[in-house]
């Protein structure tokens, strides 16, 4: 295919970096309510912090089942005291090895990237975080879109 010399391909601005935003998230399959926490890194300490946040958002008398991949920090010894304390309220359900794409929350992350990040230039990591959190704030409260997105039948 021939292209006239005066016609140039579009140039997309980007800031090459390995920096990223770390977010934990969970969706209630009954209401679509979304709970998230932005963290500097993924590790056992930040995961315990997220589980505590999740427990604060649970409905009284309801058990929480969290579907997880097999990340190392999901199996850390640091979780054991929390899991013992809340054994009646919290269950961790692990997916088969090497299949994190089966986690319902992965659909939320894909939608977040599409709505908040695709085809946009962010000069700083703070701008990325702001765009992601704006998307998350849009989903505060019961949300039919997220409920349907995460339900596996």
Mean pLDDT of all residues belonging to the chain: 88
The Cα-based distances of 94 to 7, 10, 31, 71 in angstroms read 53, 44, 22, 10
pLDDT tens for 42-65 read 999 999 999 999 999 888 888 999
What pTM value is reported for the model? Answer: 0.83
Kindly list the domain boundaries of the chain, sorted by start residue: 34-97, 104-153
Who contacts 65 (Cβ-Cβ below 8 Å, separation ≥6)? 91, 93
Res 137: pLDDT: 94
């Amino acid at each position: 295919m021939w292209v006239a010399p005066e016609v140039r391909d579009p140039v997309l601005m980007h800031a090459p970096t390995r920096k990223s935003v770390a977010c934990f998230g969970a969706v209630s399959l009954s209401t679509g309510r979304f709970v998230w926490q932005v963290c500097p890194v993924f590790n056992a300490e930040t995961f315990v912090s997220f589980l505590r946040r999740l427990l604060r958002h649970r409905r009284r008398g309801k058990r929480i089942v969290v579907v997880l991949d097999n990340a190392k920090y999901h199996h850390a010894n640091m979780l054991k005291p929390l899991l013992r304390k809340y054994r009646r309220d919290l269950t961790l359900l692990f997916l088969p090895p090497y299949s994190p794409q089966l986690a319902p929350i992965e659909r939320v992350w894909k939608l977040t990237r599409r709505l908040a990040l695709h085809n946009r230039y962010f000069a700083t990591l703070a701008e990325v975080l702001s765009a992601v959190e704006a998307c998350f704030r849009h989903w505060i409260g019961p949300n039919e879109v997220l409920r349907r997105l995460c339900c596996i039948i």
